[in-house]
Amino acid sequence: MSECLLRSGWRGRPDDHQQVLHICRKIGLPVRFILTHDAEIALVAGTGTREGVIAISGTGSIVYGRNHQGKAARAGGWGHLLGDEGSGYDIGLRGLRAVVRMADGRQPSTLLIPEILTQISLTSPNQLVKWISKVDKSQIAQLANSVFQAAQAGDLTAQEIINHASRELALSVQTVIQQLALPLSTQIVLNGGVFQNQASFVKSMQDHFLHRKVTLVAQEPAYGAILIAQQLAVSDG
Amino acid sequence: MSECLLRSGWRGRPDDHQQVLHICRKIGLPVRFILTHDAEIALVAGTGTREGVIAISGTGSIVYGRNHQGKAARAGGWGHLLGDEGSGYDIGLRGLRAVVRMADGRQPSTLLIPEILTQISLTSPNQLVKWISKVDKSQIAQLANSVFQAAQAGDLTAQEIINHASRELALSVQTVIQQLALPLSTQIVLNGGVFQNQASFVKSMQDHFLHRKVTLVAQEPAYGAILIAQQLAVSDG
């Protein structure tokens, strides 16, 4: 018997899950399958089990968890408009917004202006209006690097942006923990470009959960997909 | 001699002004002209002079001022991504973001959920993901109405969104006042859909500037364009 694991962008919302499942059944896939999503396979890649909480911060963000009984919950992951709080996009955009506030004189200028303008080869904040009309979400998310650099150089505005992002992700993790009544032994794993590139961001999440094990996902998410498919095969006997 | 007044979307940024002026001269307009923008004509419509400060809050927002010596300054007006703080879009989007936080359990549910969902005929916050992918900025800005209604019914989250918007606009006004060294006698005028529709928002701006005259623009902005063109005609003799 064959096993198959399907991945989609639906990110754990029940309505979407039902729709994708309906399409899969209509197609009549000739194998057994589990319909899952990138947060779940990264969770399994990070914990080695299907139980735990994962916080992903890349261009977007999401927190997803699953308990011992198989119940799942998520927080965030609503997309860049409704709220990918704590994502690279969120951090980069808040950096840009601080720059234009400084350019107006609405707040004192800091190191954040040269850090961000240098990264994108601009010479004046006024050029940002044209720049932002041409870029995509991932290019805004890449500016998170400049915000982290300014923060590490002691820039208070940049530090506040990073702290806000970290608090938002911690709030989402805490919400998922409460909804699933996860015990203290449950692992929290972190994934996505921002966590992978910024050790200080991993550290700040560890500081939010001093009594829990918080680690970076070391394996590729695809490894989690293989583990789930293996479990499916084993459960088939 | 003919006089002409040109209006554009450049909103007072020097680079854009130079570009539009260059185009106008290249075309070789057969009349005398002043190149201006919607914030300036609304300022003149509101004050009857070219001196003062105008705060506009519609779908977007901007604060613009001009002093006795003809020097101009602006704050905000960077567009919906970089920062139209205090605009209808800003208020509506913050309302939506609060709704999805409540849906996740990241904050306690309030009246804001039924107010916003009812306005756009949805039954669940999950439907917002699809909804927001299809609407334009003005449809998000229209949700400001629901946020004001919830605030007036005592919803603390909605009240905080409105207060934040009002503080942001007041900060922009204060920044322009400082940059132009405007005396206490200088008028502050308000325009745009949010101010025109929400008396409480006008009141909150008046509360921020108790020692200054803060009024809603009563005339159509086009009236300001006529006044400027008239002044140009008079100055020609």
How would you write chain B as a 3-class SS string? Answer: CCEEEEEECCCCCHHHHHHHHHHHHHHCCCCEEEEEEHHHHHHHHHHCCCCEEEEEECCCEEEEEECCCCCEEEEECCCCCCCCCCCHHHHHHHHHHHHHHHHHCCCCCCCHHHHHHHHCCCCCHHHHHHHHHHCCHHHHHCCHHHHHHHHHCCCHHHHHHHHHHHHHHHHHHHHHHHHHCCCCCCCEEEECHHHHHCHHHHHHHHHHCCCCCEEECCCCHHHHHHHHHHHHHHHHC
B96 touches chain A (CB under 8 A): yes
CB-CB neighbors (< 8 A) of B179 in chain A: 105
What is the rounded distance in angstroms from the CA atom of residue A75 to the CA atom of residue B39? 41
Identify the residue whose tokens are 């509101």. Answer: B46
Interchain contact, B75 vs A179, CB within 8 Å: no
CA distance A113 to A123: 10
Partner A contacted by B70 (CB < 8 A)? no
How far apart (Å, rounded) are the C-alpha atoms in residues A146 and A150? 6
Chain B residues near residue A124 by CB distance under 8 angstroms: 15
Average pLDDT for chain B: 89
How high is the pLDDT of residue A90?
Answer: 98
DSSP A127: G
Contacts of B173 in chain A (CB under 8 A): none
pLDDT tens profile B86-124: 999 999 999 999 999 999 999 999 999 999 999 999 999
Please report, as a single letter, which amino acid is at residue A2: S
Which phi and psi angles does B73 have, rounded to 5°? -150, 155
Does residue A74 lie in a domain region? no
Torsion sign, CA atoms B48, B51, B55, B61: positive
R_g of chain A computed on alpha carbons: 20
* Chain segment B120-148, per-residue pLDDT in tens: 999 999 999 999 999 999 999 999 999 99
Q: Does A178 touch chain B (CB under 8 A)?
A: yes
Best of A15, A101, A143 to disrupt the B interface by mutation (most B CBs within 10 Å)? Answer: A101
Q: Coil, strand or helix: which one is A87? A: coil
Specify the CATH number for the domain of residue B97.
3.30.420.40
Contact: B75, A106; criterion CB under 8 Å = yes
Whether residue A174 is contained in a domain is answered as no
Inform me whether the C-beta atom of residue A78 falls under 8 Å from chain B C-beta atoms: yes
Locate tokens 């914030």: which residue? B39
Residue A126 is nearest to which of B13, B124, B179, comparing CB atoms?
Answer: B13
| CB-CB under 8 Å, A127 with B79 | no
Q: Is residue B226 part of a domain?
A: no
Residues of B in contact with A61 (CB under 8 A): none
A96 touches chain B (CB under 8 A): yes
The chain B residue lying nearest A174, using CA atoms, is B106
Query: pLDDT tens-digit profile of B199-212?
Result: 999 999 999 999 99
**Would A138 be classed as within a structural domain?**
yes
Q: Could B82 and A132 be called an inter-chain contact, meaning their C-beta atoms sit closer than 8 Å?
A: yes
What is the Rg, in whole angstroms, of the alpha carbon atoms belonging to chain B? 20
CA neighbor of A62 nearest in space, from A218, A204, A173: A173
B97: tokens are 């973001």
- CB–CB of B82 and A15 under 8 A? no
B115: in domain: yes
Q: Is B82–A74 a contact, with Cβ atoms under 8 angstroms apart?
A: no
- Residues in A closer than 8 angstroms to B127, CB to CB, are 15
pLDDT at A2: 47
More confident residue, A153 or B31: A153
Q: How far apart are CA A156 and CA A119, in angstroms?
A: 19
Q: Is the pLDDT of residue B188 over 80?
A: yes
B7 close to A (CB below 8 A): no
Give the separation between CA B218 and CA A137, rounded to whole angstroms.
40
Contact (Cβ atoms closer than 8 angstroms) between residue B114 and residue B121: no
Residue of B83, B101, B132 lying closest to A100 (CB–CB) = B83
Q: Is A18 on the interface with B (CB under 8 A)?
A: no
Residue B150 domain-assigned?
Answer: yes
> pLDDT band at B229, cuts 50/70/90?
confident
Smallest Cβ–Cβ distance between B78 and the set A129, A172, A178 belongs to A129
Residues of chain A found within 8 Å of residue B172, distances taken between Cβ atoms: 104, 106
Length of chain B in terms of residues written = 237
Tokens of B98: 């609060």
Is B50 a domain residue? no
> Does residue A223 form part of some domain?
no
Of A93, A127, A172, the CB nearest to B106: A172
In terms of CA atoms, which chain B residue is nearest residue A168?
B106
Chain B: give the shortest CA distance to residue A129, in Å. 7
> So what's the ipTM on this one?
0.87
Look at chain B and report how many structural domains it folds into: 1
* pLDDT tens, chain A, 237 aa long: 345 555 545 455 556 666 666 776 777 766 666 777 888 888 988 898 889 999 999 999 999 999 999 999 999 999 999 989 999 999 999 999 999 999 999 999 999 999 999 999 999 999 999 999 999 999 999 999 999 999 999 999 999 999 999 999 999 999 999 999 999 999 999 999 999 999 999 999 999 999 999 999 988 888 888 888 887 777 765
Q: Looking at the complex, does the CB of residue B80 fall below 8 Å from at least one CB of chain A?
A: no
> Residue A101 sits in which domain range?
88-162
* Chain A to chain B Cβ contacts (< 8 Å): 76
Mean pLDDT over residues B70-98, rounded? 96
Task: Give the model's pLDDT for residue B118.
Answer: 97
